[in-house]
Amino acid sequence: MFTRAISKKPCRALIDGITTAQFVEPGEKPDYDLAVKQHDKYVEVLESLGLEVLDLDADERYPDSCFTEDPAVVMERCAVITNPATDSRNGEKEEILPAIRKFYADDQIFHIEAPGTMEGGDVMRVGDHFYVGLSDRTNEEGARQFNEIVTKFGYTSSTVPVTEGLHLKDFAIYLENNNMLVTEIVDKMDAFKDFNRIVIDPDELYAINSMYINGTVLVPEGYPKTLQIIKDLGYPTILVDTSEFRKIDGSLTCLSLRF
Ligand code: CIR
């Protein structure tokens, strides 16, 4: 059961966020005012599901800083400050720390240190196990340090390759109740063979990053096939418009830390 979330307001510099232009035409930039509205709506939805949301002020120094999922990984018994791999995002780890300190004691807070890199978008939790995606953003050493930290607190972790793009949770997402939305490539991975895997249409790749919160699944607006699949699995759903974040590869889970 999630009771809290940490989000951060988009800054004007958001328009210069890193993008692979995977989901949009090259050069298409987010509209800042619309991004702010979408962010506020996202926070409202989390609140409507019973979460107390700490919504941090915008920080113009870091274009991608509204994606609070990446600079930390939080769980009941500890928090791990990651080491974001890109220069323009690395400083976000300092900025998230005061927020993490509000909820965790000093001896519950740990850091991924260079040469380890990690971003929270690569960490997918299933019960007390964490699947860590090895990607351009998260390396073996980052995953090794993460494993060392979380095992001290009774969790486990293992690695899986990310072969299709940015973060693991863009290609596989766990919706609880053994259900996992996946791409065709992830579907074939041994690591996930025991889950009830549902392969999402490549046309709707972006909607894999739907988000389970306390029994309900938030689904990005504009992906009818995935929405129907999630409904057919029996979940109540809430549509959330993330069109402006999508332009810079941001999706639902990226926009908060939940715990
Ligand atoms: C980036 O490239 O880092 C951002 N533009 C998008 C981050 C998305 N975060 C996530 O999937 N957890």
Nearest atom in ligand 1 to the alpha carbon of residue 120 is 12
3-state secondary structure 218-241: EEECCCHHHHHHHHHCCCCEEEEC
- Dump pLDDT digits (tens) for 90-132: 999 999 999 999 999 999 999 999 999 999 999 999 999 999 9
Ligand 1 midpoint to CA 64 (Å): 7
Q: How far is the C-alpha of 191 from the C-alpha of 132, rounded, in Å?
A: 11
pLDDT band at 134 (very low <50, low <70, confident <90, very high): very high
Q: Within 6 Å (CB) of ligand 1, which residues are found? A: 17-19, 64, 67, 69-70, 89, 120-121, 166-167, 248-250, 254
What is the pLDDT, as a whole number, of residue 54? 98
Q: How far is the C-alpha of 206 from the C-alpha of 227, rounded, in Å?
A: 12
Ligand 1 midpoint to CA 248 (Å): 7
Q: How far is the C-alpha of 102 from the C-alpha of 71, rounded, in Å?
A: 16
Q: How far is the C-alpha of 147 from the C-alpha of 3, rounded, in Å?
A: 25
